[in-house]
Amino acid sequence: MKQSPFIYGSTVSSNSFTNRVEDSRRLYNNLLQGINTMIISPRRWGKSSLVEKVINDINQKEKNIKTVTIDLFTISYEEEFLEVFASKIIQASSSKWEDWVKSGKELFKQLIPKISIGTDPSNDFSLSFNLNELKKHKNEILNLPESIAKKKRIKFIINLDEFQNLANFPEYNLLEKRMRANWQRHKKVTYCLYGSKKHMMTEIFNNPSKPFYRFGDIFLLKKITTENWVNFIIKSFKDTNKEISKKNAALIPKLMKNHSWYVQQLSHYIWQKTENRVTRNEIDDSLKELIYANTPLYQKDIESVSSTQLNLLKAITNNEKQFTSNKVMQKYKLGTPQNVIKNKKKLINNDVIHVVDGVYELIDPAFELWFLKQFYNKDYF
Ligand SMILES: Nc1ncnc2c1ncn2[C@@H]1O[C@H](COP(=O)(O)OP(=O)(O)O)[C@@H](O)[C@H]1O
Ligand SMILES: [Mg+2]
């Protein structure tokens, strides 16, 4: 059986990666020229994929630059972050694990790392430190990439995914100051810091009173355009000996509001159902299947919002604009104008809604379709 050309759930950087020519060029140039870059967009629009794609290109073309990518999503406390940071940098600095052990022993002045290495060193190498020592000498770890780079005459590009996760650590404020103070002096290391929590990321990087203000280029990643999606979908069907008309292909990004993950997921379902040529039936069924598959998540999301927030979502999805007008507040039971303002802020900070060209909309297009069906009995088409 042929493999589906559509991928969702993991990052895409080669075959299923479409377009983003300008975005790739901008990121590539920034990173090569030593410009720290922060990328912000709602989750599942394509940040990790974009970074992976550009880093693959850099790895192929620039032998003198070592790259490190750490996903902070799974890291839950500061010491773990520092240990992973140190281990990954040492690993990236050489292709030989013998060098890692040597570096682990030679590079530190104040800290004494415990090196652990398994039977398959490339997957099983880590450093750990005495926690009290680590607390006292964080700078040594934060400066590690620059010291290795100088010593080995190499450069580093360090990518920290879901960076805003660090802000959940209890002593983040201090760590933040330290990171900034050390990293801004690094001449041979470039940082790419990206994350999905728009509110937190903007607070970290765009607030003049915060240490990371003006750390580098802030890149607000946009959605992939309809034209690019349509070309990509038509070509992917064609390459796998199936066919979709331009009109039907255009329906997919339209339904999913160009949201990267959902366009791929819906395309995948349609591709699976199609023998030769896509008909409207396959699209209808696939959309139902997609929403059905995601329903448990949407139900959970709904349970976590208060009743006035839910009412505000009803007003937003029903295309209301004047939320604090008496008429709208009464019709949807939104409470007082203060309630409306507070709830808007909450929903924005929790990444449920955002403002596009002055208009509030739900961030998740399939959740919106589910919501409209649930509360207004509106059909998907
Ligand atoms: N350039 C791209 N071309 C095609 N699909 C993409 C692209 N970028 C992302 N996607 C789709 O979106 C999904 C989420 O992408 P990801 O990079 O993990 O987003 P983020 O890091 O912003 O959460 C991927 O699994 C893939 O299906
Ligand atoms: Mg990501």
Q: Are 38 and 201 in contact (CB under 8 A)?
A: yes
Q: Which atom of ligand 1 is nearest to the CA of 52?
A: 17
Ligand 2 centre from 70 Cα, in Å?
11
pLDDT at position 167: 94
Q: For the residues 24-29, what does the mean pLDDT come to? A: 97
Locate 221 and state its tokens.
């990643």
Cα 170 to the center of its chain, rounded Å: 23
Which run of H or of E encompasses 284? helix 280-303
- Which one-letter DSSP state was computed for residue 70? E
Q: For the residues 164-186, what does the mean pLDDT come to? A: 94
Measured CA to CA, the distance from residue 317 to residue 324 in angstroms comes to: 16
Q: Which amino acid is at 202?
A: T
Kindly report the CA angle at 118 between 114 and 120, in degrees rounded to 5? 140
Ligand 2 centre from 75 Cα, in Å?
14
Strands (E), the chain: 37-40, 65-71, 114-117, 125-128, 155-161, 189-195, 217-220, 353-356, 359-362
Ligand 2 centre from 10 Cα, in Å?
9
pLDDT at position 110: 85
pLDDT digits (tens, 9 = 90+) for 297-308: 999 999 999 999
Q: Which residue has the higher pLDDT, 16 or 234?
A: 234
Domains, in order of start, for the chain: 21-220 (3.40.50.300), 225-301 (1.10.8.60), 305-381 (1.10.10.10)
Q: For the residues 231-236, what does the mean pLDDT come to? A: 96
Share of the chain above pLDDT 90, in %: 81
Which residues does ligand 1 sit against, CB inside 6 Å? 7-12, 16-18, 20, 41, 43-49, 196, 260-261, 264
Confidence category of residue 105, pLDDT binned at 50, 70, 90: confident
Q: Which atom of ligand 1 is nearest to the CA of 221?
A: 22
Ligand 2 centre from 368 Cα, in Å?
22
pLDDT at position 296: 96
**Range in 51-65, 120-134, 187-201, 317-331 the model is least confident about:** 120-134
pLDDT at position 1: 67
Q: In the predicted model, what is the mean pLDDT of the chain?
A: 93
Q: Which of 17, 54, 11 is nearest to 235 (CA)?
A: 17
Helix/strand/coil (H, E, C) string of 190-244? EEEEEECCHHHHHHHHCCCCCCCCCCCEEEECCCCCHHHHHHHHHHHHHHCCCEC
Locate 160 and state its tokens.
């920290």
pLDDT at position 148: 93
- Please state the pTM of the whole predicted model: 0.93
Q: Do the strands 353-356 and 359-362 form a parallel or antiparallel pair, or are they unpaired?
A: antiparallel
Q: Which residue has the higher pLDDT, 153 or 115?
A: 153
Ligand 1 centre from 64 Cα, in Å?
28
Bin 319: left if φ > 0, else alpha if -120 < ψ < 50, else beta: left
CA distance to 2, 273, 296, per residue, from 230 (Å): 21, 19, 30
Q: Which of 14, 51, 221, 261 has the most ligand 1 atoms within 8 A of CB, as the residue to mutate?
A: 261
Q: Find the ligand nearest to 261 CA.
A: 1
Measured CA to CA, the distance from residue 362 to residue 348 in angstroms comes to: 9
Spell out the residues 6+ positions from residue 95 whose beta carbon is closer than 8 angstroms to its own. Answer: none
Q: For the residues 313-317, what does the mean pLDDT come to? A: 97
Q: Which atom of ligand 1 is nearest to the CA of 9?
A: 25
- Which one-letter DSSP state was computed for residue 2? P
Locate 59 and state its tokens.
């790895």
